[in-house]
């Protein structure tokens, strides 16, 4: 009998350069149309740009700190009660925190135009490392919305 493929049976392998699973997952999110080698080249070129611009810090440390800085702690979700919809603040699971951080960093990097993707990604990662930039703005907006709607926190399920 053939082995049935499931997502849990497939293990994520660490990337070849940094031997890091977080980097491997980020490269998979960066990839478009199954072109992994292109995504790897963009990511590693971005790391080279970071290492040239920030000589005192390792690029992998910049990447990990940037992702941790962008992770949201709380988000708002819509909940219908009676005839009204409320924006209810809820805690974010660790897995969703990571996926949102990746999404926001990539979205912000892709939103900038006029430079190669590796330079846009490098600048976004450095901005997130320093606590500002597009991805950090998105995170702050989410936290601000949750703070504004904390009166509806008792509707959380």
Q: How far is CA 119 from the centre of its chain?
A: 17
Tokens of 43: 């990511």
What pLDDT, on the 0 to 100 scale, is given for residue 6? 60
pTM: 0.88
As a whole number of angstroms, the distance between CA 26 and CA 103 comes to 9
As a whole number of angstroms, the distance between CA 58 and CA 123 comes to 15
- Consecutive sets of 10 residues in the chain, 157 residues long: mean pLDDT of each? 59 89 95 94 96 93 96 93 90 95 96 94 96 95 92 81
Terminal-residue alpha carbon distance, the chain = 42
Tokens of 25: 């997952």
As a whole number of angstroms, the distance between CA 66 and CA 73 comes to 15
What pLDDT, on the 0 to 100 scale, is given for residue 2? 63
Helices (H), 11-133: 21-30, 36-53, 59-70, 94-111, 117-129
What pLDDT, on the 0 to 100 scale, is given for residue 153? 85
What pLDDT, on the 0 to 100 scale, is given for residue 142? 94
What pLDDT, on the 0 to 100 scale, is given for residue 8? 55
Handedness of CA 11, 33, 103, 30 (dihedral sign): positive
Q: How many C-beta neighbours within 10 Å does residue 99 have?
A: 15
What pLDDT, on the 0 to 100 scale, is given for residue 60? 94
What pLDDT, on the 0 to 100 scale, is given for residue 1? 58
């Amino acid at each position: 009998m053939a082995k049935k493929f499931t997502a849990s049976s497939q293990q994520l392998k660490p990337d070849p350069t940094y031997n890091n699973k977080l980097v491997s997952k980020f490269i998979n999110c960066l990839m478009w149309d199954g072109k992994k080698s292109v995504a790897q080249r963009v990511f590693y070129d971005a790391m080279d740009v970071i290492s040239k611009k920030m000589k005192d810090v390792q690029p992998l440390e910049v990447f990990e700190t940037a992702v941790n800085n962008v992770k949201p702690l709380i988000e708002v979700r819509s909940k219908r009660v009676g005839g009204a919809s409320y924006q209810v603040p809820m805690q974010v699971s660790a897995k969703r925190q990571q996926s949102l951080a990746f999404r926001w960093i990539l979205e912000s990097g892709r939103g900038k135009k006029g430079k190669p993707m590796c330079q846009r990604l490098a600048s976004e990662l450095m901005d997130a490392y320093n606590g500002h930039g597009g991805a950090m703005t998105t995170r702050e907006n989410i936290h601000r919305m949750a703070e504004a709607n904390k009166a509806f926190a008792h509707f959380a399920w």
